[in-house]
Amino acid sequence: MNQTSTILVTGATGYVGGRLVPRLLEAGHRVRILVRDPARVRGRSWAEKVDIHKGDVSNFDSLQDVFTGIETAYYLIHSLAQGKGFIDVEMKAARNFARAARAAGVKHIIYLGQLGQPDNSKPVSPYLMARHQTGEVLKESGIPVTEFRVGVIVGSGSITFEMIRYLTERWPFLVCPLWAYTFGQPIFITDVLAYLISALDISTDESRIIEIGGPDQLTFTEMLLGYSIERGLTRFMLPVRVMTPALSAYWTRLVSPITVDVARPIIEMMGSNAIVSNNDAEILFPHIHPLPYHQAVRRAILRTDSNTVETSWSDALVTSMGEIGTPVILGNTEGFYIERREQVVDASPEACYLAFTSLGGDTGWLFWDWTWSIRGWMDESVGGVGLRRGRRHATDLRVGEAVDFWRVEALEPNRLMRLRAEMKVPGRAWLECQVKPITDGKSLLQINALFEPKGVSGPLYWYCLYIPHVFIFSGMARKIAERAKNLAK
């Protein structure tokens, strides 16, 4: 690999891409990333070291300049949870990417696809079919494509690991439908990254499919039991023959923060065996020795328990929120409902900022947490994300991250945090915390709730919640002030 050229990484705000970028930089490569919203990477430690290009693979015109000077490009994009028509979305995105790459003279595409062989006796998983078809569309460009096919990725924050973690931790009985008895080869995220980076050095004379997995062939049920052993938990298997992927997705939703739209395609995909069928990976990358499952789980648990999760599955945007727009500037805006609460705090802006950027997750919302839980349950009941996504880190926060049923839209150190609602609401909603210094070492804390109603139900929703908001946001302001004061001691 010529290290004087620049490498393009798509999906840099996702689980794998967000971990690949810093490792490419550590290896001495120059990196350009393609993102729909550049603000979502500003909090990353590597943000100032990469060339950030704003664009969207679904819009060919936005890709015109991104491939200039690029020899190798990583395609780490998928449309999971897009709902009906997601295959068309996948194919359009791949065609746009391949067409723009070919026009610019890109020499090598590295694609992370899905391991799994369709079973003629079962319906083909649309998700698995889309992942395979994406690889074929990329190859139609004539550019050599290295397609890695991977099954269950084990790592702190990965969606499949979180499914395993929640299903095992929350319930003494492991409900095991038929799909949970198919085989896979779970692989540690660090090993996946090693393969992706090592692909830069292999011959690019032709396209190839490389199947990768860990050394253990396990059913999903055995993965659950393996996790319980590492955790020291006693769990009992409960075989269920009649549970469909749809019902399984709802069960997963009941005990985890993973939505039905996300869980169902993953479960459908697990209905096919995901076993490595050749030793191409060993021949091409003899220096990579994937960890056994129990060691991978142990390391992922350690990361989760020590609150050092690097990236999370929830970093991806919730598609129900629609296209990314210009962040709203709070103020006297026509068509918006605004509530504002102010509190004088006997603490510095730095302490106040730390107090309100620690909200959510295990910390909670400081005042009347039971009302937030009820709102989360209401959201889940209508197919929303609910409150259980938590947050990646207890105190560290980045633009673009999920915080319960919010998404971090803006951060200004020691001054501002703006959260955009991802719960189901008849309109669009934001929660903003601001702090300003005043005299004698005190600060002025301001909490703003802003709502842009949609249709007749929008205003009705706002006024129904007006009285509860009076108590909730006033109480939150007081509790944030108390927390900031304690932090300042």
Q: Is the model's pLDDT at 473 over the cut of 60?
A: yes
Contact 183, 273 (CB under 8 A): yes
Q: What is the pLDDT of residue 406?
A: 93
Domain locations in the chain? 6-315, 326-488
Could you tell me the pTM of the whole model? 0.73
Better-predicted residue by pLDDT, 78 or 121: 78
Q: What is the pLDDT of residue 385?
A: 83
Q: Is the model's pLDDT at 11 over the cut of 70?
A: yes
Q: What is the pLDDT of residue 80?
A: 63
Contact 428, 420 (CB under 8 A): yes
Single-letter residue type at 10 = T
Contact 409, 422 (CB under 8 A): no
Domain made up of 326-488: CATH architecture:
2-Layer Sandwich (3.30)
User: What CATH number belongs to 6-315?
Assistant: 3.40.50.720
Q: What is the pLDDT of residue 463?
A: 79
Residue with tokens 């996948």: 90
Joined tokens for residue 147: 């397609």
Model confidence pLDDT, tens digit, residues 206-257: 999 999 999 999 999 999 999 999 988 888 888 887 778 888 888 887 777 6
Q: Is the model's pLDDT at 313 over the cut of 80?
A: no
Better-predicted residue by pLDDT, 30 or 337: 30
Residue-averaged pLDDT of the chain: 85
As a three-state string, the secondary structure of the chain is CCCCCEEEEECCCCCCHHHHHHHHHHCCCEEEEEECCHHHHCCCCCHHHCEEEECCCCCHHHHCCCCCCEEEEEECCCCCCCCCCHHHHHHHHHHHHHHHHHHHCCCEEEEEEECCCCCCCCCCCHHHHHHHHHHHHHHCCCCCEEEEEECCEECCCCHHHHHHHHHHHCCCEEEECHHHHCEECCEEHHHHHHHHHHHHHCCCCCCEEEEECCCCCEEHHHHHHHHHHHHCCCCEEEECCCCCHHHHHHHHHHHCCCCHHHHHHHHHHCCCCECCCCCHHHHHCCCCCCCCHHHHHHHHHHHHHCCCCCCCHHHCCCHHHCCCCCCCCCCCCCCCEEEEEEEEECCCHHHHHHHHCCCECCCECCCCHHHHHHHHHHHHHCCCCCCCCCCCCCCCCCCCCEECCEEEEEEECCCEEEEEECCCCCEEEEEEEEEEECCCCCEEEEEEEEEEECCCHHHHHHHHCHHHHHHHHHHHHHHHHHHHHHHHC
Q: Calculate mean pLDDT across residues 336-340.
A: 76
Other C-beta atoms lying within 10 Å of the C-beta of residue 392: 22
Q: What are phi and psi of 345, to 5 degrees?
A: -120, 135
